[in-house]
Amino acid sequence: MPLNREQVLHGAMQLLDDVGLEALTLRTLAARLGVRAPTLYWHVKNKAELLDALADAIMDEAIATTPTPSAEEDSRLWLLAALSQFRTALLRHRDGARVVSGARYSMRRGDFTERAVATLVDHDVDLHQARLLVLAGERYTVGWVLEEQAPVPDTPETPDIEVEALKARFPMTTRAITEYFTVGRTADDLYEDIARLVLHLPPKNR
């Protein structure tokens, strides 16, 4: 059976998840699919086009799981839910945030943005304000996931960290971190709490 574009993209996503963005090349993808590299050029012109297509696929996942807004709902709460699904889609794939942030011609990311802005405007948010809120939310989410997916430094041994020395040097920061997490909050809670600040939403009742 001849290779089609859908098979190429499916194989590319699996390869991305297995080896990461740095090791993803058309040559390694061709080897994974059992074809010669020139065969792939019938479906993708180069690696940049392949990454744009992968970004579209990741955004498809985010869009498919974004809830339908209701007329009574605060549109910023809907946007928070949409951004949370965006984060989940990025995290589902190795280097997902790098793929999406580096895609220059991802039409599906544009679709996500358009829907978000239109939803806010439909809920009586000024167009300029809606665009800024969506942009801030998207860039916050991508930046957050970039840190979440950052590789652990390949060092021979973990450096010794004196906890008491950290407390002495950063007393307010260490106290704030300790107080935040000792009541059972998680990294997901932290993402949402900061997103609420970005979107000018009140803190979540806990």
Q: What is the mean pLDDT of residues 149-153?
A: 85
**pLDDT of amino acid 64:** 97
Asked whether residue 24 is domain-assigned, the answer is: yes
Q: How confident is the model at residue 156 (pLDDT cuts 50, 70, 90)?
A: low
Asked whether residue 18 is domain-assigned, the answer is: yes
**pLDDT of amino acid 159:** 67
Number of domains in the chain: 1
Judge whether residue 193 has pLDDT over 80. Answer: yes
The rounded percent of the chain whose pLDDT value lies above 70 is 96
Does the model's pTM come out above 0.85?
Answer: yes
CA 153 to chain centre: 21
Judge whether residue 154 has pLDDT over 80. Answer: no
Judge whether residue 2 has pLDDT over 80. Answer: no
Tell me the residue range of the domain where 21 lies.
1-45
Q: How far apart are CA 7 and CA 24, in angstroms?
A: 16
Q: Which two tokens stand for residue 113?
A: 């943005």
Asked whether residue 152 is domain-assigned, the answer is: no
Q: How far apart are CA 136 and CA 127, in angstroms?
A: 14
Give the alpha-carbon dihedral of 141, 143, 145, 146, to 10 degrees.
Answer: 160
Asked whether residue 63 is domain-assigned, the answer is: no
- For 109, residues 6+ apart whose C-beta sits below 8 A from its C-beta are 55, 56, 59, 100, 103
Q: What is the mean pLDDT of residues 109-116?
A: 97
Mean pLDDT of the chain: 93
Q: 10 in the Ramachandran plot: left (φ > 0), alpha (ψ -120 to 50) or beta?
A: alpha
Q: How far apart are CA 200 and CA 206, in angstroms?
A: 18
> Which residue do the tokens 């390694």 mark?
28
For the range 33-42, what are the long-range contacts, defined as Cβ-Cβ under 8 Å and sequence gap of 24 or more? 33/3, 33/7, 33/8, 35/3, 39/3, 40/8
- Specify the amino acid at residue 160: D
> Which residue do the tokens 């960290």 mark?
161
Q: What is the CATH number of the domain that holds 6?
A: 1.10.10.60
CA neighbor of 176 nearest in space, from 164, 167, 187: 167
Q: What is the mean pLDDT of residues 124-141?
A: 97
Asked whether residue 11 is domain-assigned, the answer is: yes
**pLDDT of amino acid 37:** 81
Greater model confidence, 166 or 59 = 59
Distances (CA, A) of 182 to 146, 176, 179, 205: 25, 10, 6, 17
Asked whether residue 65 is domain-assigned, the answer is: no
Judge whether residue 128 has pLDDT over 80. Answer: yes
Asked whether residue 101 is domain-assigned, the answer is: no
Asked whether residue 78 is domain-assigned, the answer is: no
Over the stretch 7-39, which tens digit does the pLDDT of each residue have? Answer: 999 999 999 999 999 999 999 999 999 998 888
Burial class (CB in 10 A: 0-12, 13-18, 19+), 178: exposed
Q: To 10 degrees, what angle do helices 127-148 and 187-198 make? A: 160
